[in-house]
Amino acid sequence: MKPRVIVVDDEAASATVLARLLEHLGCEVGAFTAAAQALPAMLAGDVDLVCLDLRMPDLDGRQALTLIRSHEYSTRAPGVPVIAVSGRVTPDDRAQALADGFAAYLAKPVRVERMRIVLGRAMLLRQHLQRSRYTVDRHSLEERLAALHRAGAPTALHAAAGLALAFEQEGRAALLQALQGAYAGDFAAARAALLAFAASSENLGALQLAATLRIAADWFERGSEDDGVTAAVLARAELNRVVFTLREQVRAD
């Protein structure tokens, strides 16, 4: 079955080029020139990948990503990989996009070989995301929240909400620091940032996240940027699952 992809770019020519590249790589593609127009298709639930231009009028790529993630949270749907596409490419732009939760960052003009690599990473992430909306460490997180409540947190609800927000912010900051270091060639700094957050994750009970972060750190230690970045993207997806699981405790209460 062909992967189903949604492409959104306010420049019609760019949207057409991306669509043709993806079709060449065996995908079924729907192309749009406005994110608001594409929203029903992006949120339909049968999409394998979304490609968003970062800089669009009215609703840009980051805002569209936020809407997609909010919909997934409210409906408890598995996450869909979202690729950022932009004519502006700096190491910091790439690091910011991946830390925000994009699966990859494509520079215009997009080349077929680069698209092939990015599509492969996205499909790997799609399989990873489809397994479960919750982290496998759900029970460990629940035990951690119960311990916080026993230690004097006002309510389990407040503990879960506060912990989810703080942990997501810490995770994004750590991944951003690691990716910035990796793109600058400072793999030691990248590794240190990931290992520090892995320790925090382990302390929380998010063992799968800690393990994924350590895999990324190991790749960076070997000097393998592409493998390290792929593992970091998988870690960001697992961070989303941990945060979702914590927020579900707020719903439950």
- pLDDT tens string 91-134: 999 999 999 999 999 998 899 999 998 888 888 888 777 666 78
* Range 12-27 average pLDDT: 94
> How far apart, in whole angstroms, are the C-alpha atoms of residue 82 and residue 121?
11
Confidence of residue 146 (pLDDT cuts 50, 70, 90): confident
Assess contact for 205 and 140: CB atoms under 8 A: yes
Residue type, 122: A
> Which carries the bigger pLDDT value, residue 156 or residue 220?
220
For the purposes of burial, counting CB atoms within 10 Å of the CB of 162, is it exposed (0-12), middle (13-18) or buried (19 or more)?
middle
* Range 59-75 average pLDDT: 89
* Range 8-33 average pLDDT: 94
pLDDT tens profile 25-40: 999 999 999 988 999 9
Residue type, 233: V
Q: Please give the pLDDT value at position 227.
A: 92
Confidence of residue 154 (pLDDT cuts 50, 70, 90): low
Percent of the chain with pLDDT over 70: 92
* Residue among 237, 100, 245 nearest 164 (CA): 245
Assess contact for 179 and 94: CB atoms under 8 A: yes
Report the sign of the C-alpha dihedral through residues 230, 40, 74, 63, in that order: positive
Q: Please give the pLDDT value at position 72.
A: 87
- Among the residue ranges 24-33, 72-81, 144-153, the one predicted with the least confidence is 144-153
Confidence of residue 250 (pLDDT cuts 50, 70, 90): low
**207 token code pair:** 């063992």
Instruction: Check whether 73 has a pLDDT greater than 80.
Output: yes
Confidence of residue 16 (pLDDT cuts 50, 70, 90): very high
Assess contact for 23 and 62: CB atoms under 8 A: no
> Which carries the bigger pLDDT value, residue 198 or residue 88?
198
pLDDT tens profile 192-244: 999 999 999 999 999 999 999 999 999 999 999 989 999 999 999 999 999 98
Q: Please give the pLDDT value at position 211.
A: 97
Instruction: Check whether 65 has a pLDDT greater than 90.
Output: yes
First to last CA, the chain: 41
Q: Are strands 28-32 and 4-8 parallel, antiparallel or unpaired?
A: parallel
pTM check: above 0.75: yes
* Range 130-156 average pLDDT: 74
Assess contact for 52 and 64: CB atoms under 8 A: yes
The domain 4-130 having CATH identifier 1.10.3330.10: the answer here is: no
Dihedral of the alpha carbons of 154, 72, 209, 138, in degrees to the nearest 10: 50
